[in-house]
Structure 1
């Protein structure tokens, strides 16, 4: 298998600079690998914010949980888009897995540093900058290529090369309970490509006509960008004008929930910081979390490599089990104070480590 440019390349910016007539099969395969890395990059910071909320029944916790399940679905769909044209998602390697804090992969949103910490107004602002469309209906300004524009370029390339679609090595999982568009489906036709990319873009950005997620778990659910902007502003987004249609964050208050006080994970992880060396109990949970995360990436990569459906389903099941195994050590760490007297706590590192054969 050819090793494609990794997480810390500038490849998305480079790919977007290539003229449309040059965007052939190799361009499409490289772009979809980068799309897989983009979808992976959002999950750890969103999970940390969600798990930091003490009351899981809180309205904001519910909103974040819906976003997380959407992003899991997006990762599955991006991987299927890659395998249907003969590629294989590359996830389980230090060159492709995120190592927070760092920028988004491929040069998307230059200057934006994605880190791991508990929920706050500032983390909500960061998340909205990740998800921001090119022309949001209620605006914040972020520079550079948007994720939505990148997916539009991928869709255009698929339309020129629909003959590449094979339907091979597809992972399938029913997730309708978490949203109308959340099933991970096989990509076997151009129609399936259109639907999958539509779900990814519209759940993240909304549409040019409305901030509402057209593939929701619940009626009126907003797209991710607007969910995060509501949390940041502390106000509901409401329509303030019909002609022209206009929305603003002037609705009912949205209180920031009580959270576990997870500090920002330093570069290289907690032990690398020097001043915040974890004790043995904290290090045990950090190791357990990193191993579970690494197994998750390994199982997913192997599932997409599997040539038979039974093996792929078994490996996907193991990946899901590893994902659910992340929560307990993460929340234990979020209750464990740092030794610096700041009143802040540890949190998961989401670091890929080489693991025994799983």
Structure 2
């Protein structure tokens, strides 16, 4: 299957950057995770993430590549994830089915394990209520779900504000250096096949939380506190 055919079968969605709003949850998060067989929230006939994964599996079957386990990451990654080598097409198919279930549930259930799949979690956030089984169908009229508070970030970079206060500059530097190191560990994971590199990357990811939470609490200059700073996500020299 050609790349063009894959794109034609799974049209791209419009993904844009925005503050967290209910419209953004619906138009971006829920659209990305749209199931092939939605049990709630939407009508049929919408291009879905499941269609993309079907096309991806079809491409594997058409090419039928030789799968070399020596070039794959294995071992424990994080607290609950174990990576195993994909050894043949059957294992690839099982993996794609698991990814689909985690994102969109199954035609019989919106759940993945003990929690709703991603699409339905976002639906609960959008509708403001937990999804529940009524005895005949799934409805989002259960316990209330509070929409999270957000900060009014005005800029993702300091291009318009080139001389931030020292405390802001320190946080931006810390975030960018940590972010760069995190990506470096991921690159090394692909280069070496070592599972220790993804674990190191995960550790750096958690270290991003502190500066990422502090920056939006600092107002931009000349904004009367209307907007705040935010992480830049810049790759910087190390």
TM-score above 0.5, yes or no: yes
Residue aligning to 2:229: 346
- Structure 1 residue 293, shift from structure 2 partner: 1.8
Residue aligning to 1:114: 17
C-alpha contact (below 8 Å) 1:270/1:276 kept by paired residues: no
- Structure 1 residue 224, shift from structure 2 partner: 0.4
The 1:337/1:140 distance shift into structure 2, 3 A limit, reads farther
Residue aligning to 1:184: 83
Residue aligning to 1:8: none
C-alpha contact (below 8 Å) 1:108/1:145 kept by paired residues: no
Q: Which structure 2 residues correspond to residues 153-168 of structure 1 after superposition, within 5 A? A: 153-168=55-70
C-alpha contact (below 8 Å) 2:176/2:233 kept by paired residues: yes
- CA distance in 1 between partners of 2:227 and 2:42 (Å): 29
Residue aligning to 1:131: 33
- Structure 1 residue 146, shift from structure 2 partner: 3.3
- Structure 1 residue 13, shift from structure 2 partner: 7.6
- CA distance in 2 between partners of 1:319 and 1:147 (Å): 27
- CA distance in 2 between partners of 1:296 and 1:318 (Å): 7
Residue aligning to 2:168: 282
The 1:265/1:191 distance shift into structure 2, 3 A limit, reads farther
Residue aligning to 1:254: 145
> Which of 193, 211, 215 is matched with 1:333 structurally?
215
- CA distance in 2 between partners of 1:173 and 1:150 (Å): 28
The 1:222/1:317 distance shift into structure 2, 3 A limit, reads closer
Residue aligning to 2:4: 14
- Structure 1 residue 120, shift from structure 2 partner: 4.4
What secondary structure is seen at the aligned counterpart in 1 of 2:180? helix
Residue aligning to 1:230: 124
The 1:346/1:143 distance shift into structure 2, 3 A limit, reads farther
Q: Which structure 2 residues correspond to residues 88-107 of structure 1 after superposition, within 5 A? A: none
Q: What 5-or-longer segments of structure 2 have no aligned partner?
A: none
Higher relative contact order (CA 8 A, sep 6+): 1
- Structure 1 residue 236, shift from structure 2 partner: 0.8
Corresponding residue pairs, total: 235
- Structure 1 residue 166, shift from structure 2 partner: 1.3
Q: What 5-or-longer segments of structure 1 have no aligned partner?
A: 1-11, 20-105
Q: Which digits, 9 at most, give the CA deviation of each residue in 1:184-232, with x for residues without a partner?
A: 322122232122211211111111222111xx3xx2x100011011011
The 1:278/1:150 distance shift into structure 2, 3 A limit, reads farther
C-alpha contact (below 8 Å) 2:37/2:44 kept by paired residues: no
Q: Does 1:263 align with 2:162?
A: no
- CA distance in 2 between partners of 1:276 and 1:127 (Å): 33
- CA distance in 1 between partners of 2:228 and 2:216 (Å): 5
The 1:147/1:289 distance shift into structure 2, 3 A limit, reads farther
- CA distance in 1 between partners of 2:44 and 2:236 (Å): 35
Q: Which has the larger radius of gyration?
A: 2
Q: Does 1:315 align with 2:197?
A: yes
